[in-house]
Amino acid sequence: MIYANKGEKMSLADRKVLIAYFSWSGNTKYIAEKINTKVRGDIFRIETKIPYPTDYNETAYGIAKKQHDENIHPEIKDNCDISNYDVIFVGTPAWWYTMAPPVMTFLENNNFEGKIIVPFVTHGGGGGYNIADDMKELAKTATVLTPLIVYGKGNLNTDKEIDNWLKDINLK
């Protein structure tokens, strides 16, 4: 994985920041909004043309499992023109050991040349897997920084963790 050079200060002040995320049950949305209170970018919610069912089993063991097993990347509803952004936070829940398929579609649909991707992942106990590397695979021309990995929607320490993470990756 490519990390930003340590010591290379990347102030966000003169960079255009986008926070793009997919969220099915709200955790990733919550973290996306929390990050945005600190980096003050634009927010884009990735949504599929055909929404996932609201039932957990139907989504997890039905459509999402099928998409995972068959490497299907579903169409997304709107795209977001990323050309004006320098730093793009990309948020996803862990779905079947990697990012959710709509996030794969988002990465494939856009040109990330010269862009910085800052991944953040929420999960249900499995951790962040290799999701940052998987993002790099789909957006080969981007620089992908160290991900933030949060269990569920986080806890009382999450605020501090986000601050420390932003400092570690030189974005604060």
Ligand X SMILES: Cc1cc2nc3c(=O)[nH]c(=O)nc-3n(C[C@H](O)[C@H](O)[C@H](O)COP(=O)(O)O)c2cc1C
Contact code string over 23-42 relative to ligand X, x by CB under 6 A? xxxxxxx-------------
Q: Which residues contact 4 (CB under 8 A, 6 or more apart)?
A: 10, 116, 143, 145, 169, 170
By CB under 6 A, residue 123 contacts ligand X: yes
Give the interface segment with ligand X, choosing from 56-64, 69-77, 80-88, 157-165 (CB under 6 A). Answer: 56-64
Q: Pick from 95, 106, 120, 165: which binds ligand X (CB under 6 A)?
A: 95
Residues in contact with ligand X, total (CB under 6 A)?
21
Residue 154 burial (10 A CB sphere; 0-12, 13-18, 19+) = middle
Q: Pick from 94, 118, 145, 148: which binds ligand X (CB under 6 A)?
A: 94
DSSP secondary structure code for residue 60 in this structure: I
Q: How many residues does the chain have?
A: 172
Q: Pick from 101, 122, 135, 138: which binds ligand X (CB under 6 A)?
A: 122
Token code pair at residue 73:
């990347």
